[in-house]
Structure 1
Amino acid sequence: MTRSPKRPPAGLPDRETLLAFLRDAGSAEKGDIARHFGLKGGDRRALREMIRDLEAEGALGKRGRKGFSEAGGLPPVGVADVVERDVDGEIYVRLVEASDDAPRALLVPDRGGRAGPAPGMGDRLLCKFQRGEEGWEARLIKRLDAGTNRVLGVIRKSNREVRVEPVDRRSKDVLLVPHAQAGDLKDGDLVLAAIEKGEQRYGPKRGKILETIGREDDPRAASLIAIHAHGVPTGFSEAVEAEAQDQELPSLKGREDLRDLPLITIDPADARDHDDAVHAHRDDDPKNEGGWVVWVAIADVSAYVRVGTALDREARAKGNSTYFADRVEPMLPEVLSNGLCSLKEGENRACLAVRMVFDKDGRKLSHRFVRGLMRSHASLSYEQAQGAIDGQPDDVTGPIMDRILYPLWNAYHAMLKGRLKRSPLLIESAERKVLMDPGGGIGAIEPRKSLEAHRLIEEMMIQANVCAAETLEQKRTPLIYRVHEAPSQEKIFNLADFLQTIGKPWAKGELATTKRFNRLLDETRDGPHAEVVNEVVLRTQMQAIYSPENIGHFGLNLDRYAHFTSPIRRYSDLIVHRGLIRALNLGKDGLTDREIAELATIAEQVTQTERRSMAAERDAMDRYIAAFLEDRVGATFPGRITGVTRFGLFVRLEETGADGLVPVSTLGDEYFTHDDRTHALVGERTGRRWTLGRSVEVRLVEATPVTGGLLFEMLSEPQPRDPNAPSPRLGMRARGPKGGRYPKRGGPRPRDGAKPSGGLKGVRKGKRR
């Protein structure tokens, strides 16, 4: 309770004095009111009657179990539920355990810059309330049980009941909802529901519908589910859209004119925004014979998204853009991301560019940053640029071969020498691409091509990112690094244990370097273990994160590295741009002192939002693939074991890259133990093995698009016992009848009438002690 600074004279207050006190305090319980006014005995009884009368008249409202407030008021601090999200994406909360007069409040960003995923419908929050210009506002203090009382699911109707079945295959929370609440809903509707408190002890929990999201048979359901399940922010507020619409192209004042420099963009064929452009030409310095000058120009997002604006606050909350096969949830409104910030062919655009000089062996000699105005001379796809270099130019690439494309490739081949000396990690990633058909369905799933054009752009972007980190360090300007820690000792020990099983030595005390990993990958590249070694090396690596503290980037084998090249879709890059503007005196819209003080918080936040987007994109891909394969249940596929766990084998199909589970209970008539050292499931009785990386054939048993789940049946036979492996310990499960097989479920007992302990076919018992 907030007390008035001056205690009034003791005695029962009149109505207006009481209401004025509650207006100042926000809310108070009867005992607090009585103490404030010094009431005792009969005056306390009179106070209770006055409060009852005021409540009956509608002048007072309940706040919590015992508190009261002036009608329409809110306490300074209280617990609230997220109850509404409007068309602009604004979130509204309502006080928990309050009477109907309690107003909803707009959830506004925290002034302290604290961040995290945006709250979702049904989340419970501790908030600070205050009156704003347009009504009550709530500022988040703490999340209490965010997401734990929500279920994203599908409506299943029957004559007897209406259920919400969760789309998360790990969730067991099937909810029953009242028929009255589900009257307008149809079987198959995607909904967000809240678990009601006080549910019955046994049977399904009770729930209430918060909002309808879409339909499970909608081809776009995969991304819709992923967005809501992971709390990916969608859309923009009216204020943000208005700010974006008001932006104008900056003039040449304070900028270098780069419009005659023949910069070009090279992007995916379906790219809608272009945030980087490149150009290369021979260095005319006689001291650098055979050397190259490489330009990388990046959209100057900081010219439009300035500190303290609604645009900046929302971009920071989103952290990054999130990409799905059928939609993008962008970090910036389309008028910027696909408009003023996109380096469109033939149009003037503000940019922040770096001019880098390399010698003939790819060693960087110098660099400098400029803030400029550019004009893209061509907009090419990766396939288009690669086709031209491979001897198949078209009407666009033909005229620019000698002046633009050949110099670009020649400069890259020089840079490649430096890259090979540096020896970054060369893990091959089998990424898949979902192709949507014209009707919005899934037309095909195919592997992404890896072209030299991709590697050219990647290397030029990497070098530009290194230049950004070096410049900020030289100018003693704080920054957010992109850091990647070396693998932990535990991960290296696990890798060494696995490599022993395929005859590849790795001493446990051996230093883990990118060159050592690359040698291992080269030694196994053409052998039967190539894919599994690549997979295990990938799993040995740590996750890259953002940090104001530099520990280097292990995977790229770089001492310093920052993200500079994608400010349209990554807030981290925007921070680096602002840092460069401040460090080099390129304008008044550089990094502020307050942002510098908050760099650790911003780095942690953008790491979280990146992982949120990665999880959402991965989950959506699982659902796209399940929808694509739904019509092929019963078909057989070649695949490879990519995961070995106590509960089964994960198999990746060669055709689509789809991952699904073969439950351990379906693998045979014996008990399989998980050997985490050799990444294998081993039969306790026979010693037969299922090992990581093995090629197998499976039958698709079940494909569930709404959860993204695939279930396989193993058609291949296990490998025989490894004569070099220790004999499995025979427990009661392994001591079956003669012949080594237990009867199938429901079959006859062993002849001696003894009940086999845990020996039924396909039954996986509890953890072995």
Structure 2
Amino acid sequence: MAKTPKRPVAGLPDKDTLLAFLREAGEAEKSDIARAFGLKGAERRMLREMLRELEAEGKLGKRGRKGFAEAGTLPPVGVVDVVARTDDGEMLVQLVKGEADAPQAVLVADKDRRGPAPAMGDRLLVKLSRAGEGWEARLVKKLDSDNSKLLGVVRKGNREVRIEPVDKKDKEFLVIPASLAEGLKDGDLVLAAAEKREGRYGPKRGKVLEHIGREDDPRAASIIAIHQHNIPAGFSEAVEAEAGDQEVPTLKGREDLRHIPFVTIDPQDARDHDDAVYAEPDTDEKNPDGWIVWVSIADVAAYVRPNTQLDREARAKGNSTYFPDRVEPMLPEVLSNGLCSLKQGENRATMAVRMVFDATGKKVSHKFTRGLMRSHAKLSYEQAQAAIDGAPDDVTGPIMDAILYPLWNAYACMLKGRERRAPLAIESLERRVKMSPDGGIEAILPRKSLEAHRLIEEMMVQANVCAAETLEKARTPLIYRVHETPSQEKIFNLSDFLHTIGKSWTKGEAPTTKRFNKLLGEVKDTAHAEVVNEVVLRTQMQAFYTPSNVGHFGLNLDRYAHFTSPIRRYADLMVHRGLIRACGFGDDGLTDREMSELEAIADHITETERRSMAAERAAMDRYIAAFLEEHVGAMFTGRITGVTRFGLFVRLDETGADGLVPVSSLGDEYFIHDDRTHALVGERSGKRFPLGYNVEVLLVEATPITGGLVLQMMSDPAPRDPNAPSPRLGMRGRSGKGGGGFKGGGKGGPKSARARNGGKPHGKPLGGLKGVKKGKRK
């Protein structure tokens, strides 16, 4: 890849001439030098000696096995590894075939490049150049995947140092040579890379790329999730400076909305407030008993302008990622918790929509405006709900008649339209981790579902619909939030499952939200309610972003876009820019270039959303495992939420944690996975462990570093289903075929917790956890 220098004068060069040649060439092998100077025979031997002398003098550096370069220099183009980060968060790269003399270079961000940013350990092809006293690298392309990298925890033994993976699906570990293990401590979290295996057998050798933290850090779960899922953390110095160099816009080009008494209603621990609401009766005689609803959203587009460094980093992040102990925000805190947050009593730039509904809850008109607003009050969901339920406080009491009652009355009107539309009415219980002041886990609590939540949700949904309608009418391209109709395969699986609980769904019947809601209504308040809600949820397709509209099945809407959360979602920021362009609100709207890139942007932010969801789930699993580690040996009640050929997944009632019951611990016979009825079925007895079955389990193992829970089944299986065909014999050992057969080891088996505890668990009570019986720690 080195450039070809001018042909030198023939004959053996002196040392200065040779160094000048290498300086121009970047790097060269001995044969290339000899060819360039026309050297043969004895002159080639003399050249070899000259190269040795220059290397001994520290004037030459080796590049690979045969290459040479002037010491301390880099070639114009080279293959590098990302090896470190500076204090400012910049990546440092090292030439792959460079020796100790080869300097590191700073990887410079390319403002025109799209896609995921390079990460620690990545191998890149870059252009290299001097920059003052150092070197810069500009990315040409990434050359490898992340398959060789491992996020793990250091385990130091007497004879070796291992890196054990934090991913419970990954069974391979790396061995670190003693020469590279200096400074490593047992329990360190590190990012490591596998090196080329010297032989065909034995463990893989590795090297540590980056020290992440400690496994005993209370925040380890989120730290692991951030690195494991490549969540971009922090901001560059340039972005922080750009974000800090902002101020609240004036009224120029904006409508003054400060007379409207907006209120924000958010979770108690919310730090940013990107939406505010207000409602009042419509006084228009043509709309009797109608309502006017205002939704005011932070005008993030006023601060994050297209093609700035701030915009590029926001797009790369795609969205904010939320963990129990921290947030990795899409925007720097000076914006997300400052200028873009609709703080009580402070002027804030807004993009607002005024919606008019008739007495039946039908939206009859809407209009967007770009304005300046001032929040009248900051409320929590619980605070607003308590006020409506008859327990106002010092904040809510004075605003009941003017603000809160009108909001609830407007929602009651809008609810008529929602019920007519019949969006999917799945009920799923969410849980949250309550952190203690020292960063530990205090409790796992269910999230309450309040009418205040549903009020804000419906007002946001309607504002999102208005955004999509406005952009479509103006023929301005936009990114839709779409949710496709469930596939035929998913409906067939649902039909098979419903047959096992005595419910029917004709396989040829078209899926609609009304049909799903009818089913959910039939099982409400029955023993099957929770499992049917979960199966219906699994039947749905994943929502995604796209510039091509196919509607939103779950909300039962023909068009839908995300507009209401631009602080934490790049999709919403793009919709804001579209509205600025479509409505003529300024020169900082959607650009021609962005319109040409909408499909790529939509694909990218769909990917970043799913990346964040996976990271959030992984962190939650680890936090729950850490919480339950002290309760190993205890009995829990739960429900089977997953059936596989290798075991059962059981969700514990109190914490919502999912643990695995290995099939080997289920009994004295072979169990066959019946994927049609979602059950493990005893080969001879026909007894079954079906999906949704309520059981008692014993916690055998909780591993915080991986988030894994291993459970022991303590309940007997359900009786044989007389309507089911008899299980076939001879299925033993056919993993992956015909359902797969596996033998249990007796109830608990000789190595089980039941056997160890003399047939039943015992020990001290477990601190008031419901659904938990006494047990003893392992």
- Asked if these proteins are the same fold (TM beyond 0.5), I'd say yes
Relative to structure 1, the CA distance from residue 618 to residue 41 in structure 2 (aligned partners, 3 Å threshold; closer, same or farther) is same
- Give 1:489's aligned residue: 488
Task: Tell me if structure 1 keeps the 8 A contact 2:30–2:48.
Answer: yes
3-state SS of paired residue (2:404): helix
- Counterpart-to-counterpart distance in 2, 1:5 and 1:26: 9
- Give 2:771's aligned residue: none
Residue 329 of structure 1 aligns with an amino acid whose one-letter code is: E
3-state SS of paired residue (1:156): strand
Task: Tell me if structure 2 keeps the 8 A contact 1:113–1:598.
Answer: no
Relative to structure 1, the CA distance from residue 743 to residue 210 in structure 2 (aligned partners, 3 Å threshold; closer, same or farther) is closer
- Give 2:164's aligned residue: 165
- Counterpart-to-counterpart distance in 1, 2:575 and 2:619: 30
Alpha-carbon shift at residue 666 of structure 1 (Å): 0.3
2:358 is aligned with 1:356:
no
2:94 is aligned with 1:89:
no
Alpha-carbon shift at residue 303 of structure 1 (Å): 1.3
2:442 is aligned with 1:443:
yes
Relative to structure 1, the CA distance from residue 8 to residue 371 in structure 2 (aligned partners, 3 Å threshold; closer, same or farther) is farther
Relative to structure 1, the CA distance from residue 115 to residue 25 in structure 2 (aligned partners, 3 Å threshold; closer, same or farther) is farther
Alpha-carbon shift at residue 49 of structure 1 (Å): 5.8
- Give 2:767's aligned residue: none
2:100 is aligned with 1:114:
no
Relative to structure 1, the CA distance from residue 439 to residue 5 in structure 2 (aligned partners, 3 Å threshold; closer, same or farther) is closer
Task: Tell me if structure 2 keeps the 8 A contact 1:89–1:234.
Answer: no
Alpha-carbon shift at residue 742 of structure 1 (Å): 9.7
Task: Tell me if structure 1 keeps the 8 A contact 2:667–2:744.
Answer: no
- Give 1:452's aligned residue: 451
Alpha-carbon shift at residue 376 of structure 1 (Å): 0.4
2:605 is aligned with 1:577:
no
Q: How is 1:418-429 mapped onto 2 (pairs within 5 angstroms)?
A: 418-429=417-428
Alpha-carbon shift at residue 629 of structure 1 (Å): 0.9
Relative to structure 1, the CA distance from residue 561 to residue 62 in structure 2 (aligned partners, 3 Å threshold; closer, same or farther) is farther
Task: Tell me if structure 2 keeps the 8 A contact 1:193–1:207.
Answer: yes
3-state SS of paired residue (2:270): coil
2:176 is aligned with 1:177:
yes
Alpha-carbon shift at residue 132 of structure 1 (Å): 4.8
Task: Tell me if structure 1 keeps the 8 A contact 2:664–2:744.
Answer: no
- Counterpart-to-counterpart distance in 2, 1:11 and 1:579: 68
Task: Tell me if structure 1 keeps the 8 A contact 2:480–2:545.
Answer: yes
Relative to structure 1, the CA distance from residue 410 to residue 2 in structure 2 (aligned partners, 3 Å threshold; closer, same or farther) is same
- Give 1:753's aligned residue: none
Q: How is 1:43-82 mapped onto 2 (pairs within 5 angstroms)?
A: 52=52, 54-82=54-82
- Counterpart-to-counterpart distance in 2, 1:227 and 1:348: 35
Please provide the CA RMSD for this pair. Answer: 2.6
2:397 is aligned with 1:398:
yes
- Counterpart-to-counterpart distance in 2, 1:375 and 1:54: 72
Alpha-carbon shift at residue 691 of structure 1 (Å): 0.4
Task: Tell me if structure 1 keeps the 8 A contact 2:666–2:744.
Answer: no
- Counterpart-to-counterpart distance in 1, 2:511 and 2:166: 41
- Counterpart-to-counterpart distance in 1, 2:20 and 2:610: 49
Structure 2: tracts of 5 or more residues without a match: 734-742, 751-778
207-216 or 52-61, which moves further after superposition? 52-61
Task: Tell me if structure 1 keeps the 8 A contact 2:665–2:746.
Answer: no
Alpha-carbon shift at residue 179 of structure 1 (Å): 4.1
- Counterpart-to-counterpart distance in 2, 1:130 and 1:359: 66
Task: Tell me if structure 1 keeps the 8 A contact 2:3–2:76.
Answer: no
- Counterpart-to-counterpart distance in 1, 2:423 and 2:445: 27
Task: Tell me if structure 1 keeps the 8 A contact 2:688–2:719.
Answer: yes
1:113-169 CA-partner distances (Å, limit 9, x unpaired): 3212x4332232333434456843334444343332222222222333322222111
Relative to structure 1, the CA distance from residue 46 to residue 470 in structure 2 (aligned partners, 3 Å threshold; closer, same or farther) is farther
335-344 or 643-652, which moves further after superposition? 335-344
Task: Tell me if structure 2 keeps the 8 A contact 1:472–1:580.
Answer: yes
- Counterpart-to-counterpart distance in 2, 1:38 and 1:507: 84
1:340-384 CA-partner distances (Å, limit 9, x unpaired): 111100011111111111111121112121111111000000000
Residue 105 of structure 1 aligns with an amino acid whose one-letter code is: A
Task: Tell me if structure 2 keeps the 8 A contact 1:156–1:187.
Answer: yes
1:15-47 CA-partner distances (Å, limit 9, x unpaired): 667656655554455555666677777777676
Relative to structure 1, the CA distance from residue 586 to residue 647 in structure 2 (aligned partners, 3 Å threshold; closer, same or farther) is same
- Give 2:645's aligned residue: 646
Alpha-carbon shift at residue 50 of structure 1 (Å): 5.7
- Counterpart-to-counterpart distance in 2, 1:65 and 1:600: 45
3-state SS of paired residue (2:408): helix
Relative to structure 1, the CA distance from residue 518 to residue 66 in structure 2 (aligned partners, 3 Å threshold; closer, same or farther) is farther
- Counterpart-to-counterpart distance in 2, 1:495 and 1:743: 32
- Give 2:506's aligned residue: 507
| TM-score, normalising length: structure 1 | 0.91
- Counterpart-to-counterpart distance in 2, 1:42 and 1:603: 65
Relative to structure 1, the CA distance from residue 56 to residue 633 in structure 2 (aligned partners, 3 Å threshold; closer, same or farther) is same
3-state SS of paired residue (1:424): coil
Aligned-pair identity in percent equals 75
2:125 is aligned with 1:126:
yes
69-78 or 608-617, which moves further after superposition? 69-78
- Give 2:596's aligned residue: 597
2:269 is aligned with 1:281:
no
2:317 is aligned with 1:318:
yes
- Counterpart-to-counterpart distance in 1, 2:134 and 2:596: 31
Residue 725 of structure 1 aligns with an amino acid whose one-letter code is: A
Task: Tell me if structure 2 keeps the 8 A contact 1:88–1:235.
Answer: no
- Counterpart-to-counterpart distance in 2, 1:744 and 1:289: 72
Task: Tell me if structure 2 keeps the 8 A contact 1:582–1:591.
Answer: yes
| TM-score, normalising length: structure 2 | 0.90
Alpha-carbon shift at residue 643 of structure 1 (Å): 0.2
Alpha-carbon shift at residue 57 of structure 1 (Å): 4.2
